[in-house]
Amino acid sequence: MDLTELLEMSDRHRQQQKPIQIGCCEAAGCLSVNSLAVHQALETAVDEAEMGDRIQVKRVGCLGLCGQGRMVRAAPSGDLYQNVTPTNAAAIVAEVAEQRSLNPDPPVQYADTNHPFFARQLCIVRENSGTIDPEQIEEYIAVGSPHDC
């Protein structure tokens, strides 16, 4: 594969992206507390809300606070949710679709991204963890700069 092919792959992947991304952590810590059920519930909630053209649910790597897992991050808002359960899925989808639920039941929990645990982190090797699907090379190529190859 040459640079031209990488650039084309990157462009194709970016064009296929939906405007709203919901990343469900599927690293070991979150998987051990059944984040797969959360992922499935989020996909179901997107389908039921008929938002599949605007919202993409995808697996992502570690979101950094395993003790509060199951973690979910919304983009482009950057909202980070902790202790997510399948019953929170519809409320999260409504919120990220700008149909904010005033009193979700059960309530969603936000992670404090200003907490010293996060504030002092400088991710270098894992800079895209929590953003890209670790099993999709196309996502890595799309967020990286093939010009650096």
Asked if the structure places residue 30 within a domain, the reply is yes
Asked if the structure places residue 71 within a domain, the reply is yes
Number of domains in the chain: 1
Contact between 73 and 62 (Cβ < 8 Å):
no
The model's pTM is 0.75
pLDDT tens, position by position, 102-139: 555 555 677 766 667 666 766 666 666 667 777 777 77
Asked if the structure places residue 37 within a domain, the reply is yes
Q: How far is CA 31 from CA 18, 27, 147, in A?
A: 25, 6, 34
Asked if the structure places residue 89 within a domain, the reply is yes
Task: Domain of residue 36: give its range.
Answer: 3-143
Q: Which residues pair with 24 in a beta bridge?
A: 59, 72
pLDDT, mean of residues 41-54: 93
CATH number at residue 75: 3.40.30.10
Q: Please report the pLDDT score of residue 147 as a whole number.
A: 42
Closest CA to 26 of 47, 49, 48, 43: 43
Asked if the structure places residue 45 within a domain, the reply is yes
Asked if the structure places residue 148 within a domain, the reply is no
pLDDT, mean of residues 84-111: 76
Asked if the structure places residue 149 within a domain, the reply is no
Asked if the structure places residue 53 within a domain, the reply is yes
pLDDT tens, position by position, 11-33: 787 777 888 989 999 888 888 89
